[in-house]
Amino acid sequence: MSDFSILLLDKQPGITSFRSLHEVKACHKGSKVGHTGTLDKFAGGLMIVLTGEATKLNPLFSGMDKSYRAEVELGRETDTLDPEGETVRTAELPQKTALEKALESFRGEIMQAPPAYSAIHVDGRRAYERIRKGEQIEMEKRPVTVYSLTLESFSGSSCILDAKVSKGTYIRSLARDVAEAAGSCGCLRKLDRYEVGPYTRADLTGLTPSPEESENLLSKVCPRYFDFDPAYRKQLVNGFLDKKGIIGKRPSEDGYYRLRMEGRLFGVVNKEGGRYTIIALTERD
């Protein structure tokens, strides 16, 4: 039996995404473990974690849209754009009407400059490493999509924003840019990722989810499947999916499919250009 698990965990603020995997690794000793989207140390929220053979499914999960609830401190900006950084700028507090007006220009497709303190590579090195060595760098803007952005509350010195965004969107940058557009400056105090693709906290699992729980999570992004007779088990394990009519006569569109056998998940296959490729299996000889 191969290790194959899909977990949905609730990362707590104050620990890194890497540290949050320690308990998972302890429960899945000897297996590869990885997550599909980093959260900053100060932030909390949903993380999809894959173990064993399931780590090969990262492309299925890493490009998902995400929803955040962000508490923004207004009138102060830090070098990291979060509560752990040093103050680099202060400004007068914005009016609520100015803030609401500013939000309008950040909905839809926008160009966004990532934070300088980020893991993005600049000329072959991570941006934050270059900054810490005293280098001056300019982060190039890149296209992202903000599907929705609303002002949930406003207290004068802070506000709470709710945002649904595409992959690659930095909420730290969004807070900075919105505050600046409102005539002030800002940085994040708190950040909670409460939705990843189709997943919410109602889908949370334990550290060792059952095969049924893993398949339930998988089915939300991979609803299509093929059922196979156990007679084909050996051929599937050996990767012979297109041979001997195992799947060749089944009409299907390109994309990912679950492989099921005897009422349970056996693996995942991808069809591209008319050819089937086995991506991961829950069992290996």
Determine which one of 40, 82, 177, 192 is catalytic: 40
Q: At what angle do helices 171-181 and 96-104 cross, to 10 degrees?
A: 120
CA 181 vs CA 93, 102, 223: distances in Å: 12, 6, 42
Q: What's the pLDDT tens digit per position in 185-203?
A: 999 999 999 999 999 999 9
Q: What's the pLDDT tens digit per position in 27-60?
A: 999 999 999 988 999 999 999 999 999 999 999 9
Higher pLDDT, 133 or 74: 74
Share the mean pLDDT of the chain: 89
Which residues are 126's β-sheet partners? 121
Q: Which of 133-147, 208-222, 241-255, 265-279 has the highest average model confidence (pLDDT)? A: 208-222
Q: Say what the pLDDT of residue 131 is.
A: 59
65 tagged catalytic: no
The angle formed by the CA atoms of residues 81, 125 and 174, to the nearest 5 degrees, is 25
Q: Say what the pLDDT of residue 98 is.
A: 97
